[in-house]
Amino acid sequence: MTSRATIGLAALQDRFQKALLSGDDRILSIIPDSQRERRDVLLSVYRHAYSQRLIEFVENDHELLHKYLGDEAFREMAQAYAAAQPSHDRNARYFCVHLPQFLKTVEPYKSQAQISELAALEKALNDAFDAADALVLTCADLGRFRPEDWWRLTLKPHPSALRIDCQTNAPDIWLSLKEERKPPRLQNVAESTHVLVWRQDIPKLRLLGAEEAMMWDEAAAGTYFGTLCELVAIFGGLGGAEARAAGYLQGWIDSGLVSETELMGASQRLRTKPTK
Amino acid sequence: MLESLDLSHAAKPSANRPPYLGFGLGLRPQHYSEILEGNWPIDWFEIISENFMVPGGRPIAILEKIRARYPIVMHGVSLSIASTAPLDMDYLASLKMLAQRIQPKWISDHLCWTGVHGVNLHDLLPIPYTREALEHVVSRVHKVQEVLGRTIALENVSTYVRFEHSEMTECEFVTELTRRTGCWVLLDINNVFVNAFNHGFDARAFLNGIAVDRVVQFHVAGHSDMGSHLIDTHDQLVRGEVWDLYRSALKHFGPVSTMIERDENIPPLAEVVAEVSHARFIAQEVFAAHHALAERR
């Protein structure tokens, strides 16, 4: 029994937190009953609020995964995540950042890869929603470079842009749920499905072919545009490679996916930021 | 006396005191469009600071539009001023950066703790009203005010348990804290009502004990009645007894910026604006009676 004088603030907070996280009841020794209620019932207000709040955070960020799993299975999943991964961030917005990885590594979710992939897609869209702002490049901005300099251009993706590769038909499932259609049966795909998520006023998601995905990944890593054209030629064949590369670039510019270009050279480093 | 209409004791103008803003509302994403498209009888908005401590995107863009039309107050939920964990300097830097961008009329948080050992429990947890806790909170308020470069306001929270070794009342704790740090009080009228019921004290005596010149804001919100205890749920209309207590608070403190707080089960904007208007109506009634009384004297 803890005496009235011995429990300091730090010990009290440690014990109170343990009561919420692990059901340790020792804190009850310093909590009196109220005039109308037992101390354990009063403490349960905090216990219930804690678990309920974390489940709500998962619900708020995963509307379509919730729809896919149904109420009961979703709640079980959220409870399992909350138990395994207490929040370490002051901002509730970031409580779910580890959910895709959790679902990828813990049974029974691990063996149903579409679940972690759906969570990853929703996380990417949430991240795109409040990613940093940046002006986007236009064709007119690109036109300021001389044609002979294009080979040494590098592109900087918009801060919201994120690539995901899926090993299941999770993107199809996601789209069906979004459009309130019955989701298709799970399929594991032989070739990865390449997804690009970004924000153009609102968060967007689209599928990329293998060649465009390769070029995007290389561009995002800082590869020169000239090298990108060579890679496209190697990947998809020499014929029309430059036109295909230019087409992809045009699509990215139209979609607001590029925020900056740099012209790299041995003796110069010019940067073109978009004009307002 | 608390129930009299003598407002001579009410807070006097002071160069350092935040301005009186009138009747405001908690800004919630569900109402963004209606707020931007309409012309509502709302004088100001309170934001949850953490919701805007993100890199960019729509939340910040919307807030910029709203702050161009209305005064903004920042209200945090994660300062954890009473925690024995070290102050989170990254959080404070981020809060300060947001304040520099938004230029709020004041910044508030809660008199509580939210976690220790690197964990955030995302709840407003109770503190023992001991001399040790008071010393701890006083030193942290001084530090936070130094880092932010401004005086903060702290809100009394609803609590469901109390601790046997408390050495003073909540009211005494708050009074001593404000005296020693100069911090403001965000007085949540619903929380006073909830705590008075849960812990068996007189809500009006509590109001009477708080230093009038420290209170810069009232929160008014709804709660859930569980029979043996009340829970501060913010998910329903403000109850009549809380409006009655608000009326008493106005009589005691004089004009104080008032805000309706709704966090769950959020209705269309018109419904919460009706509550803002009701708060305004009560204040007008209280102060009209005061002026009538003054004229008769």
B146-169 pLDDT, tens digit each: 999 999 999 999 999 999 999 999
Pull the structure tokens for residue A173.
Answer: 């499932």
Residue A135 lies in a domain: yes
Please tell me the total count of domains within chain A.
2
Q: Tell whether the model's pLDDT for residue B3 goes beyond 70.
A: no
Q: Taking a C-beta distance cutoff of 8 angstroms, is the pair B187, B154 a contact?
A: no
What are B206-248's pLDDT values in tens digits? 999 999 999 999 999 999 999 999 999 999 999 999 999 999 9
A31/B162 Cβ within 8 A = yes
Q: Does one domain contain both A124 and A236?
A: yes
Q: Does one domain contain both A156 and A223?
A: yes
Close Cβ partners of A208 (under 8 Å, ≥ 6 residues apart): A194, A195, A196, A216
Largest CA distance in chain B: 61
Q: Does one domain contain both A133 and A264?
A: yes
Residue B4 lies in a domain: no
Residue B278 belongs to domain with CATH number: 3.20.20.150
Q: Tell whether the model's pLDDT for residue B174 goes beyond 60.
A: yes
Boundary (domain end) residue, out of A37, A68, A97: A97
Angle at B210 between CA B24 and CA B150, to 5 degrees: 60
Q: Does one domain contain both A129 and A266?
A: yes
pLDDT confidence of residue A81: 96
Q: How many CB pairs under 8 A join A and B?
A: 134
Residue A46 lies in a domain: yes
pLDDT confidence of residue A275: 47
Pull the structure tokens for residue B27.
Answer: 């800004």
Q: Does one domain contain both A122 and A64?
A: no
> Tokens 């009961």 identify what position?
A72
Give the structural domain span for A88.
Answer: 9-97
Query: Considering only residues 156 to 195 of chain B, which have any Cβ-Cβ distance to chain A shorter than 8 Å?
Result: 160-165
Q: Taking a C-beta distance cutoff of 8 angstroms, is the pair B45, B26 a contact?
A: yes
Residue A4 lies in a domain: no
Q: Which residues of A4-19 are buried (b: 16+ CB within 10 A; e: fewer)?
A: eeebbbeebbbbbbbb
pLDDT means over runs of 10, chain A (276 residues)? 68 97 94 96 96 94 96 96 93 94 96 96 96 90 84 91 96 96 92 95 94 95 92 86 91 92 54 53
Bridge-partner residues for B107, per DSSP? B74
Burial of B213 (0-12, 13-18, 19+ CB in 10 A): middle
Boundary (domain end) residue, out of A55, A71, A97: A97
Residue A163 lies in a domain: yes
| Nearest-angstrom CA–CA distance, A120 and A112 | 13
| Nearest-angstrom CA–CA distance, A131 and A112 | 29
Close Cβ partners of B169 (under 8 Å, ≥ 6 residues apart): B129, B201, B209
**Cβ neighbour number for residue B172 with a 10 Å cutoff:** 14
Boundary (domain end) residue, out of A64, A97, A130: A97
User: A28 to chain B, minimum CA–CA distance in Å?
Assistant: 9
B125/A16 Cβ within 8 A = yes
pLDDT confidence of residue B5: 62
Contacts of A89 in chain B (CB under 8 A): 120
Q: Does one domain contain both A55 and A172?
A: no
A9/B164 Cβ within 8 A = no
pLDDT confidence of residue B1: 43
Q: Does one domain contain both A172 and A261?
A: yes
Please tell me the total count of domains within chain B.
1
Query: Considering only residues 134 to 163 of chain A, which have any Cβ-Cβ distance to chain B shorter than 8 Å?
Result: 159-160
pLDDT confidence of residue A237: 81
This prediction has a pTM of 0.90
Residue A107 lies in a domain: no
| Nearest-angstrom CA–CA distance, A59 and B105 | 33
Query: Is the CB of B86 inside 8 Å of chain A's CB atoms?
Result: no
Give helix A210-220 / helix A241-254 axis angle, nearest 10°: 70
Gap between the terminal Cα atoms of chain B: 17
What are B82-101's pLDDT values in tens digits? 999 999 999 999 999 999 99
Percent of chain B surpassing pLDDT 70: 94
Please give the distance of CA B91 from its chain centroid, rounded to a whole number. 20
Mean pLDDT (whole number) for B103-124: 97
Residue A2 lies in a domain: no
Give the structural domain span for B126.
Answer: 23-296
Residue B246 lies in a domain: yes
pLDDT confidence of residue B53: 95
pLDDT confidence of residue B144: 98
Q: A242 vs B49, which has greater pLDDT?
A: B49
Query: Considering only residues 215 to 234 of chain B, which have any Cβ-Cβ distance to chain A shorter than 8 Å?
Result: 227-229, 231
pLDDT confidence of residue A142: 83
For residue B288, what pLDDT band results from cuts at 50, 70 and 90?
confident
Q: Does one domain contain both A79 and A133?
A: no
Q: Tell which residue, A77, A78, A26, has the closest CA to residue A56.
A: A78
